[in-house]
Amino acid sequence: MLTKYFTQDWIDIIGQENLISLISDINTSLRQERLDNPDVLPPAGSSLLFQAFRETPYNSLKVCVLGQDPYHDNSFNGLAFGNGVPNEPAVTKISPSLRAILNEVKSLYGETPHPSLYEWAKQGVLLINTAHSVIKGKAGSHIPLWSKFTKAVISAINSKDKVVWLLWGSNAHAYADQISNTSHVIIKSGHPSPLNRSNPFSGSACFSECDSALMKMGKTPILWA
């Protein structure tokens, strides 16, 4: 069952029994939740669940982008902040947060990536949220449900040397204390949401800062654009 959702290296590093236990508990809660509220996203049986872990195997991980939860308007595509499907010629619906991300990349590199962000994932950028489900229209509604799973994932990544973390917004910043590996680099920025006016994402230059950190680690920079 696990290999349907995770590459083998993720299963090995988190631990098969631990992962089964965590997911079993979450599934029990989600089944009950769906009885009371049919608007849980992604829908039951969705192939998008844990997609980020399949697109970016543990062994290829270089950068971790930590978001909050799937887009609660049902535009979630399997990767945190992404919209649309890979190679889609024209993604018609781009979420405001993603628009800010694309604009920041363009300001640094003169071009924008495909909105699906799957090209980032292929280069070792893990795009995950701190919750992998959400009630439609209620951002942050399932964060407590996924807390133990998220801690297990962060612990697994923490055991890997030389990873750059892009923590966007106060929710992501709160996980910084769990990252203790001294070979890691943590880059904090404001959340790309247009509702964030106190610590704007625009102008943060987090992508170029990430590349500088990767080069200092002896790793290839990410082709963000």
DSSP one-letter code for 211: H
| Residue environment code for 119-155, b if the CB has 16+ CB neighbours within 10 A, otherwise e | bbbeebbbbbbbbbbbbeeebebbbebbeebbebbbe
Q: Is 222 part of any domain?
A: no
Q: Which long-range contacts (CB under 8 A, 24 or more apart) does 3-10 make?
A: 5/49, 5/50, 5/53, 5/54, 6/50, 6/53, 6/54, 7/53, 7/54, 7/57, 7/58, 9/57, 9/58, 9/59, 10/53, 10/57, 10/58, 10/156
CATH of the domain at 182: 3.40.470.10
pLDDT higher than 90, residue 10:
yes
Q: Is 224 part of any domain?
A: no
Q: pLDDT-derived band of residue 30, with 50, 70 and 90 as boundaries?
A: very high
Q: Is 80 part of any domain?
A: yes
Domain count, the chain: 1
Q: Is 78 part of any domain?
A: yes
Domain span holding position 135: 2-216
Question: What is the overall mean pLDDT for the chain?
Answer: 95
Q: Is 98 part of any domain?
A: yes
Q: Is 22 part of any domain?
A: yes
pLDDT recorded at residue 207: 98
Annotated catalytic residues are 69
| 3 state SS of 40 | strand
pLDDT higher than 90, residue 197:
no
pLDDT in tens, 51-81: 999 999 999 999 999 999 999 888 999 999 9
Q: Is 225 part of any domain?
A: no
Q: Is 109 part of any domain?
A: yes
